[in-house]
Amino acid sequence: MHPVAARRIFRLVFVTAFALWLSQAVNWSASFITPVLLSMLLAIPLPGLKLKQGLIFVLALVIPLWFTTWFLLPVLTHQPMVGMLLLIAACFWAFYYSASGGSPILGAFLTMGLAIVAAVGSDSIDSVIAVDKALTFNAIVAIVLMWLAYVIVPEKPVDAGPKARPQAEKPSRDEAIRSAWRSTAIVLPVIVFFLLYAGSSSYLVVMIKVASMGQQAENDKTKEVGKSLLMSTFIGGVGAVVIWNLMSIWPSLINLVLLVVLAGFFMGRRIFQGQGMAAGAGTWSYAFLTMLVIIVPALLDGPGGDAAGVKFYDRISMLAWATLYGVAAVYVFDAFWRKKVPQAAAD
């Protein structure tokens, strides 16, 4: 294995597993969010994390959380039409930022903040504020652990040469707008469903997966997007079911951490390869995220876990329906808004 890929896999697996153990040893509110956030952050190759960059990541999640709570939710409650227009505009801008060449992690965090609070808005304001505080704390802990991970296991310099992958071209404005609307079409109806669904705070981690689906759908090819959405949910679901059944043999935190490590190594080898990403890395990274989203809150107590009344297979069913809707939305959207083919390519 290439040493660059080995370091990245090691960092992804052990830091995520350590965050899982630490969060339960300390047992803070909604602690399962920390390993889920780290699985997103560490599944992409980053040169390292400086204080300014870490602060930006935290603010990208925290600002939409509190903005939606104190500004958007009251408008949605008292002026639903105006609130919906603002929610559509906010979702579109978050997706447009990443589709036009911005950081996909920042785009995902922006969407996540909007989606989670808007969905939990059907519950009491006390529940929303509790979710905001828990997510803010978990985001800070995740960034600190990520910074420590790069200090302990620094990134190995990438060799420059003819085999180095060229930098991707920045998409045009029309392409970015189309991609942002497609992602919005996937995520927004699910947000509205949870906004009208009582007890939506129990499905907190489901909204994290739904928000990530919007970023996953920024691929230009319809078949690749549909396949990636389905495969990532299927692989993550199978991994969660296997861990769920193995946990019944030895129900302990140590067993859960070891099983996450094994799953992380299995999927990590399909995420990182050589000095870059492996083919199909997006599918496997979202599969790892899906597995954590399903299994971790199902086995741990706290807001959003089984103590809140959410059953393990109910969460799998909810994610499966959300994924099927996402695939259908991509095909319908692309059927009505086809990508423009350059004239030279068409000739």
Answer for the pair 75, 82: CB distance below 8 angstroms, yes or no: yes
pLDDT tier at 202 (50, 70, 90 boundaries)?
A: low
Q: Give the pLDDT score at 133.
A: 86
Q: Is residue 165 part of a domain?
A: no
Q: Is residue 72 part of a domain?
A: yes
Q: Return all residues near 107 (Cβ < 8 A) that are at least 6 apart.
A: 94, 95, 97, 98, 99, 215
Q: Is residue 281 part of a domain?
A: yes
pLDDT above 90 for 261: yes
Q: Is residue 346 part of a domain?
A: no
Lowest pLDDT segment from 2-6, 71-75, 157-161: 157-161
Q: Give the pLDDT score at 310.
A: 47
pLDDT tier at 203 (50, 70, 90 boundaries)?
A: low
Mean pLDDT (the chain, rounded): 80
Give pTM, 2 decimals: 0.82
pLDDT above 80 for 149: yes
Q: Give the pLDDT score at 174.
A: 86
Q: Give the separation between CA 287 and CA 238, rounded to whole angstroms.
A: 10
Neighbours of 84 (CB within 10 A): 16
pLDDT tier at 311 (50, 70, 90 boundaries)?
A: low
Q: Is residue 265 part of a domain?
A: yes
Q: Give the pLDDT score at 15.
A: 93
Q: Is residue 162 part of a domain?
A: no
Structural domain for 197, as ranges:
3-157+173-337
Number of domains the chain contains: 1
Q: Is residue 344 part of a domain?
A: no
The secondary structure element, H or E, covering residue 276 is strand 276-277
How much of the chain, in percent, has pLDDT values that exceed 90? 13
Q: Is residue 103 part of a domain?
A: yes
